[in-house]
Homo-oligomer: A and B are copies of this chain.
Amino acid sequence: MGNYHHKRIRHKNRKVNKVGERPGTISIPADALKPRIVVYSYNQTDLQVSEGTDMRTITEQLKRCTDHTHWIRVNGIGDAQLMEDIGTFLGINQLVLEDIVNTHQRPKFDEYDNYAFGTSRIIYLNDENELINCQFSGIIKENLLMSFEESYDDYFSAVITRIKAGKGLIRVGGSGYLFYALTDTILDNYFVVLSDLGDQVEETEERVYKSPSKSIMFDAQQLKRTFITIRRACWPERDKINDMIRSESPLINNDTKIYLRDAYDHCIQAMEIVESYKEVTGSVIDLYLSMVSNRMNEIMKVLTIISVIFIPLTFVAGIYGMNFSRQDTHGRIIPDNMPELYVQHGYVYTIIAMLFIALVQLLVFWRKGWFNKL
């Protein structure tokens, strides 16, 4: 993934807080996509799939398939009327509907009288290699799971393949197991993203060793932000899965709970990876700063040594460049003002004196250990 460019995790829609609004008010984000509905109805032997964009797609399929488990998958939430219709149809609380369309929920699992509601953060790399952080939510009823996603991206294709293949628990596990399977797919994607980020952390670390440049600070900063975001998704996800495990609702049966414990372990593992990557990133920054400082020290040392050696020599040259002189009336110099200047071989003696000064200085610096690598 060498051509992967750091992007901020993009929240699909920014929350618009309307202060003091009646709780349960449905305000669709302006750039929400129009809903696309796919209904998968399956039992151990049969699988029916319908697609559409309105309530009829749902109601007709449900009427037709009476002993099936239904997965009503809604991609895009940009239709207030449809949302309200769905709310009425499923008989769910207004607050739940609000949570579905207000796509900044923390992962959670809430149980109600005859249904349960869960949300997760979907974090994935889309086809343009951007990190997307959007919301998944699902309403679990007996024999029915209604899921909502923000984008059209084909996130759950592996689950659909398993449903079509008809093997494993997926066709007999009921809506609770299906909800687990989707959650597990989301968690799997965390590992894909983390693996990619891990590569970037290692690459950044190697760049520190090989060719440190100031872009490292920017990249490390981006990585830290991304880790903060994933951590914010993972922590409540863990609590959510734990709530599901301890749930006494018949919607989550004991077989599913065994699988949920597995998902719980994965979630903790993801968190641990995030934490240790974060720590390593911090160390990389420290290392880079130390290398920059070291290089500056080396440069300073060279300047100092060269300057300090030449400064006294240049001064001596300046001394003998002075024009003190006395001339007799014939314009001849009387050699009594700077007598060194007129001594035979005075110049050679001076050069020798300069060399001596330079050598003494080099000796002093060598004794002080300035020539050692710092």
Contact = CB atoms under 8 A, between A and B. Distances in A.
A373 interface: yes
Interface string A202-238: 0000000101111001100100110011001000000
Contacts of A326: 342, 344
A331 interface: yes
A268 interface: yes
Nearest to A327: B333
The range of chain A's interface size is: 35 or more
Contact of A347 (B212, B214, B324): B324
A184 interface: yes
B321 A327 contact: no
Contacts of A158: 18-21
A159 B20 contact: yes
A23 B178 CA distance: 12
A291 interface: yes
Contacts of A342: 324-326, 337
Contact of A344 (B93, B232, B337): B337
A209 B296 CA distance: 22
Interface in A254-299: 258-259, 261-262, 265, 268-269, 272, 276, 279-280, 283-287, 289-297, 299
B93 A258 contact: yes
Given A23-B259, A188-B20, A313-B315, A347 B322 contact: yes
Contacts of A296: 297, 300
Interface in A306-354: 306-308, 310-315, 317-327, 329-333, 336-338, 341-342, 344-347, 350-351
Contacts of A2: none
A23 to B, nearest CB: 6
A357 B283 CA distance: 42
Interface string A187-212: 01101100100000000000001011
Contacts of A105: 265, 269
A345 B337 contact: yes
A302 B294 CA distance: 17
A301 interface: yes
A374 B292 contact: yes
Name the residue in A95, A265, A322 with the highest tally of chain B Cβ atoms < 10 Å from its Cβ.
A322
Contacts of A156: 20
Contacts of A36: none
A195 to B, nearest CB: 7
Given A188-B19, A303-B304, A287 B322 contact: no
A197 B116 CA distance: 35
29 contacts: A17-B191, A17-B195, A18-B188, A20-B156, A21-B188, A22-B162, A23-B262, A105-B265, A214-B294, A214-B374, A217-B291, A221-B284, A221-B287, A228-B280, A232-B276, A285-B286, A290-B292, A292-B297, A302-B308, A306-B307, A311-B314, A313-B315, A315-B317, A320-B324, A322-B341, A336-B344, A337-B342, A337-B344, A337-B347
- Top 3 A-B pairs ranked by shortest CB distance? A20-B158, A317-B318, A320-B322
